[in-house]
Chains A and B, each alone.
Chain A
């Protein structure tokens, strides 16, 4: 039975999970009271998606020390794959039945993105530092160009009329599961190998880490989550266009990551949350909006070069339950 006593113990042992459930309950409650309108809900959904994107980018950039700036490309692969299944294959998407297609479509979108990531990562991850960055960006743009010139994928017009399958519950569950999975990855042996590569690649190799395999693995994993995010993103906006996934989009995630703190999951979450909300808060300043946004960005970087959170982690997020 759910007695107050038991609830209290539960909250004590799983503070993070309880907090998230509470947050979800609060948001949906406020939505039902009409205090939050659908614009706010959409914003919250975008925050959730951006968090997963940023954490998955952090996996590559922050924890493995590889510099990838083409994350939006994987998002595009995921988005177009899943939309291809839900919108173009399923001519008349109907109600709850659509979800039977949507969930596998999201997963397949992720898998396609992961496959793309694998194919790109294999030859390029041997390049170091900035060259890798430039090649990832180049591949993202090539993906976009392919989408632009291929007529079946909507070409330069984009695809409209995508059903709005993504809702608050799905985003919450997706974001929590993904971040939890990535957290476990980072805390595992693989995560340690990643950090070893970041700190000193040659030393890691001497210690027996198969650096190329590890880098390709992380890259593929990051691409997988980006692909899933792309699918959710497409089903929030209900309209996708190759220009949704430009280089600027990749840079946005880079900004979220480094403003929060690159090798920290908490940092990625904080960065993505604050900097998704911020431009919306500034919306009433109209043309000054992006000026203020960019100035905030510069000032944060000047005064906190390691990011807002830095390299620390919020305890409940990384503490492991002791098995007795």
Chain B
């Protein structure tokens, strides 16, 4: 029982990392119907950026996260501009293959010896870890990093929610995602909105990379983005791809189920994600919070 409760907290921790990545997937998919495979690698760049800024000088934590978000946002915009925009009106799958290419490129370019190098690194301890005991009898404790994670995610999510529902650009994003052609007829600059979406997704992935480094304190290699990226993507699909609350819900579901599955058998974690995915898609083909789209003839 004690163990299960503690694992629940670990699951929430993991879900937090996934949620920030999943938001990028879901927003980009919502706008241009592209599974942006390279998003996981933006997350990886985020981990490395925060690693290098944190080790280079004794930069305080809030500045590190802002730098990481800025670099990743810029990368997201650049990627869209160079690789995806020229293919906007071409067959949808060529953009998908390009996304794969961009993903492979980022991973392997980062693994070059004079860029990041393929070796294992330790993330510096930016914040001294403290444990707060929540429940004496059950030995249940949370760390300050956990609370910080939750805090940052809450702030970012509220910010995102405000941006999408209360500002002009958010309204434009929703319009473009609903109907691109009509949106452009109404004077919305579609290209700018798409760029902005990539910027937002990139920034969130950057924040996620920072939190990942801070929490797990290890950087395996430039390929580290692949699995968190995939799980975040699955989380986005479970929640209903294109839906922002869905991505968050799916991520926490994914994080918690993965931690429990891993505590049974370490190879089970990943398979578990897919089993949940299959069940959800067969029962609710549009995901948990996805909208049903009527097929037009």
Chain A contact residues, CB within 8 Å of chain B: 67, 123-124, 127, 130-131, 133-135, 138-139, 141-142, 144-146, 148-149, 156, 202, 247, 251, 254-255, 258-259, 262, 287-291, 293-295, 297-298, 301-302, 305-307
Contact: A288 with B98, CB < 8 Å? no
A295 contacts across to B, CB distance below 8 A: 101, 105
CB contact between A262 and one of B93, B100, B103 (< 8 Å): that residue: B93
Residue-wise, chain B 16-40 has the 8 Å CB interface mask toward A (1 for contact) of 0000000000000100010100000
CB contact between B277 and one of A134, A145, A259, A290 (< 8 Å): that residue: A134
Contact: A142 with B271, CB < 8 Å? yes
Residue-wise, chain B 268-297 has the 8 Å CB interface mask toward A (1 for contact) of 101100110110011001100000000101
Contact: A134 with B111, CB < 8 Å? no
CA A287 to CA B90, docked complex, whole Å: 32
Most buried by A among B94, B112, B270: B94
CB contact between A297 and one of B100, B234, B275, B278 (< 8 Å): that residue: B100
Q: What is the predominant secondary structure among interface residues of chain A facing chain B?
A: helix
Q: Whole-angstrom distance from the CB of A249 to the nearest CB of chain B?
A: 13
CB contact between B101 and one of A67, A149, A294 (< 8 Å): that residue: A294
Interface residue B237 (Cβ < 8 Å from any Cβ of A) = yes
Most buried by A among B33, B101, B285: B101
Contact: B268 with A145, CB < 8 Å? yes
Interface residue B230 (Cβ < 8 Å from any Cβ of A) = yes
Pairs A–B under 8 Å by Cβ, sample size 19 = A133-B35, A134-B234, A138-B277, A145-B270, A146-B271, A149-B268, A156-B267, A202-B295, A251-B100, A287-B111, A288-B112, A294-B105, A295-B101, A297-B97, A297-B98, A297-B100, A297-B101, A301-B98, A305-B90
Pairs A-B, 6 closest by C-beta atoms: A145-B271, A294-B104, A297-B101, A290-B108, A294-B105, A305-B90
CA A81 to CA B77, docked complex, whole Å: 46
With A149-B268, A290-B108, A305-B87: A254-B281 Cβ-Cβ less than 8 Å: no
A302 contacts across to B, CB distance below 8 A: 83, 86-87, 98
Q: Whole-angstrom distance from the CB of B254 to the nearest CB of chain A?
A: 13
Q: Whole-angstrom distance from the CB of B51 to the nearest CB of chain A?
A: 20
Q: Whole-angstrom distance from the CB of A43 to the nearest CB of chain B?
A: 21
B271 contacts across to A, CB distance below 8 A: 141-142, 144-146, 148-149
CA A127 to CA B278, docked complex, whole Å: 11
Q: Whole-angstrom distance from the CB of B296 to the nearest CB of chain A?
A: 9
CA A255 to CA B87, docked complex, whole Å: 16
